[in-house]
A = this chain, B = another copy of it.
Amino acid sequence: MSSTSTGSRGETVPTVPSAAGVEDVSGVLDRGRTLATPVLRAAVDRLAPPMDTVAAYHFGWIDAEGRPSAGDGGKAVRPALALLSAEAAGAAPEVGIPGAVAVELVHNFSLLHDDLMDGDEQRRHRDTVWKVHGPAQAILVGDALFALANEVLLELDTVEAGRATRRLTTASRKLIDGQAQDISYEHRERVTVEECLEMEGNKTGALLACAVSIGAVLGGADEKTADTLERYGYHLGLAFQAVDDLLGIWGDPEATGKQTWSDLRQRKKSLPVVAALSADGEAAERLGELLAADAKASDFENFSEEEFAARAALIEEAGGREWTAQEARRQHTIAIEALNEVEMPDRVRAQLVALADFVVVRKR
């Protein structure tokens, strides 16, 4: 974890976490991946063919030809959080595994469907499922992962599992609400910063919040503790999404696995865009005119790199980039403050802080 944020209960957290903090986090992420993946694979293996194969491709376990591959399965932040969540409630990390798997299944259900709805062709450096296996398989396998998430929890057959499923269902509904808002905003000329934050809270905050409470709930934590942990996760999610929005415009395609100017190509009303449009000054005005014209442009699909670069430059000039970076740091601070309201082992707290630090400085 970051040495500067050690024991920082109530103190100001560093705006830029130390490199040490970021390195430390890889152990926590690895543990989540190592413990959750075998259970996740066993769950996915239950799917009827060809859905098992399609899902295995999506998770990066096989390539498009069906050969085993050690693909990029994503950052695995959620499984890591779910295991720490169990430990925060005083349980063994293993208690959080079904929660980690369930949250990961819901997350990937949403990726499969969102990529299709958004027309995204690349994810994790590979063609998306709908590109490789067709839209029907993307819909179907998404549905199957969503159902499987509830199955994995409910077959535990405990009262705690029922509570965990209820929280996961609430988070899933918000996730879907967020995607609905995201799509509708693409067709609107103006979106306020508040609307954008609400959408991102639904789309990213809710499931990260659930990841941070689900292990604790499975470990027997009371509702108040679970709610407070969710508050940390929710703001962590908003920080995460703010950084994602920065990477969606200025991210290195080599690192992110997405196209250059990915969010601009999709006319996403992400935080940097919305913040820039709501600013005063010439750059904001010029950006507004350009984006309004873009919305009607019939050749938008064929815009050059330079055209997108010009829009990105205007967003930056109008202050959208800096505002979003600040917002990420602000949400990071609120997340850490919520964490301080829950009693938990020092190591677990330190690792949750380190994860929050990682989220803010990551490049992918």
Contact = CB atoms under 8 A, between A and B. Distances in A.
Contact of A154 (B49, B109, B162, B180): B162
A50 B173 contact: no
A347 to B, nearest CB: 33
A117 B146 contact: no
Interface in A127-177: 135-136, 139-140, 142-144, 146-148, 150-151, 154-155, 157, 159, 161-162, 165-166, 169-170, 172-173, 176-177
A143 to B, nearest CB: 5
Given A117-B139, A117-B140, A146-B146, A151 B176 contact: no
A177 to B, nearest CB: 4
B151 A169 contact: yes
A304 interface: no
A193 interface: no
A143 B113 contact: yes
A48 B182 CA distance: 12
B155 A172 contact: no
A48 B181 contact: yes
Contact of A139 (B113, B144, B151, B161): B113
A140 B48 contact: no
Contact of A159 (B143, B159, B166, B176): B159
B162 A176 contact: no
Interface in A199-232: none
Nearest to A52: B180
A176 B113 contact: no
A105 to B, nearest CB: 12
Contacts of A146: 143, 146-147
Given A48-B181, A184-B50, A148 B165 contact: no
B179 A140 contact: yes
A116 interface: yes
Give the residue among A113, A116, A169 with the most B Cβ atoms within 10 A. Answer: A169
Nearest to A178: B48
A342 interface: no
B170 A151 contact: yes
B162 A148 contact: no
17 contacts: A47-B180, A48-B181, A50-B180, A50-B184, A51-B180, A113-B139, A116-B135, A117-B139, A117-B140, A140-B179, A144-B173, A144-B176, A144-B180, A150-B150, A154-B162, A154-B169, A165-B165
Which 8 pairs from chain A and chain B are nearest by CB? A162-B162, A48-B177, A117-B136, A154-B166, A150-B169, A147-B172, A147-B173, A144-B176
Interface of A: 47-51, 109, 113, 116-117, 135-136, 139-140, 142-144, 146-148, 150-151, 154-155, 157, 159, 161-162, 165-166, 169-170, 172-173, 176-177, 179-181, 183-184
